[in-house]
Amino acid sequence: MKAKLFLLLASLMISACSQQETPSLERLNGRTMGTSYSIVWPVQSSVVQPSKIQLLIEKRLIEINRQMSTYDATSEISQFNQANPPYTQTISPDFSNVMKLAMELHALSGGFFDVSVGPLVNLWGFGPDAGSKAPSERVLNEALNKVGLNQVTLKGLELEKQSQRYIDLSAIAKGYAVDELARILHEHGIEAYLVEVGGEIRTKGQKAKDTPWKVAIESPDISQRRVHKILAMDDNAMATSGDYRNYFEVDGQRFSHSINPFTGKPVQHRLASVTVIDQNCARADALATAMLVMGEAKAKAFAQEHRIKAYLIERQGTEFKEYLSPAFSSWLIDR
């Protein structure tokens, strides 16, 4: 599973308004979680000074990072990961909320979304404690024995592990950050906006009268960066997971950052990109990751069974083929 929180995995979501400077828009941007954030809203929607909003945004991002960054040795999640089992830790509400959703989606996805996959992510060279790439079967099996949420429980703010586990929330925490920034804007009277953190997006209202926010899905082409599809968005969140930017090659074989928690190895299938539309960006973030790990057949069945708005791009030789889940197709018709 991809390590997304601090690695900018290129879903290249491009706001149409970012192509030109528009005087009627307020803009905030900065760095966070090893990537960037961008916030845009119409001037007429603003009831507070942008500088005040930026201070609140920066403070909130620091709080989330302090709790859930595996790159910060003093963060709450790092303390949990470093402790010897059995171990119980009282965690912050944000951390608890994200873990609760992660565990729910782990069950929903049949284990394909697994935030305990960190040892494998690191082993294949995609995490803060990156080890050797293309590890031996012995080393791989040792890492697999440390994966699985069956040894982790959450009761309120009490997070417990019975065996050694390394939790990595990077496939859900960026989406959570987007939701939190959107909440701050809403609480301060801003009713139309586009929020983006490292490619994960949430929008509300319109950019201008009769002008929706527009975002782009990147083509999963490793040789160049180009737009594959542009979507008009209103009150929705969008997240994309792809295997086409963060990878390495050994003897001509490409190893993706997306790790299958059952085999312990990078995924090997034709599915190159998954985009999910949802009301909740954290949920969209995690579902896109899980479906990319599943592969094309399982992901299509999963999206149909759970009425997920999913847009899949498959490799077919040198070409790409798109698949729209029934829920996604219906959503497009309603636009």
> Which residues have a Cβ under 8 Å from the Cβ of 271 and sit 6 or more positions away?
243, 291, 292, 294, 295, 296, 299, 312, 313, 314, 315
Is 248 within the bounds of a domain? no
**Is 110 among the domain residues?**
yes
- Average pLDDT over the chain reads 86
Report yes or no: 201 and 238 within 8 Å, Cβ to Cβ: yes
3-class DSSP assignment, residue 217: strand
Q: What would the pLDDT profile of 71-83 be if each residue is shown by its tens digit?
A: 899 999 999 999 9
Domain count of the chain?
Answer: 1
pLDDT digits (tens, 9 = 90+) for 18-41: 444 444 899 999 999 989 999 999
Beta sheet of 152-155, edge-to-edge order: 87-90, 158-161, 152-155
Determine phi and psi for 112, rounding to 5 degrees: -70, -25
Would 9 be classed as within a structural domain? no
pLDDT of residue 13: 39
User: Does residue 23 lie in a domain region?
Assistant: no
pLDDT-based confidence at 6, cuts 50/70/90? very low
Q: What is the mean pLDDT of residues 308-335?
A: 89
Nearest to 290 by CA among 156, 161, 172, 198: 172
Name the pLDDT band for 15 (thresholds 50, 70, 90): very low
Q: Would you state the torsion angle of the CA atoms of residues 290, 293, 296, 297, taken in this order, to the nearest 10 degrees?
A: -80
pLDDT of residue 16 exceeding 60, the answer is no
Which residues neighbour 89 within 8 Å (Cβ) at sequence distance 6 or greater?
76, 79, 80, 83, 158, 159, 160
Residue 253's pLDDT band (cuts 50, 70, 90): low
DSSP 241-298: EESSSSEEEETTEEEES-B-TTTSSB--SSEEEEEEEES-HHHHHHHHHHHHHH-HHH
Residue 89: pLDDT band with limits 50, 70, 90: very high
Q: Are strands 25-32 and 158-161 parallel, antiparallel or unpaired?
A: unpaired
Is residue 192 a part of any domain in this protein? no
β-bridge mates for residue 231, sequence order? 215
pLDDT of residue 173: 96
Q: Does residue 52 lie in a domain region?
A: no
> Between 60 and 241, where is the model more confident?
60
Cα–Cα distance for residue pair 182/270, rounded to 1 Å: 34
220: pLDDT strictly greater than 90: no
Question: Are residues 151 and 134 in contact, defined by beta-carbon separation less than 8 angstroms?
Answer: no
Of 279 and 9, which is predicted with more confidence? 279
Give the rounded distance of the alpha carbon of 35 from its chain centre: 12
CB 36 within 8 A of CB 30: yes
Q: What is the domain range of residue 150? A: 70-161
> Residue 55: what residue type?
L
**Angle of CA points 89, 103, 304, to nearest 5°:** 170
Which CATH number covers residue 98?
Answer: 1.10.3980.10
- For residue 223, name the pLDDT band (cuts at 50, 70, 90): low
User: Residue 285: inside a domain, yes or no?
Assistant: no
pLDDT at 225: 60
Task: Supply the pLDDT for residue 128.
Answer: 60
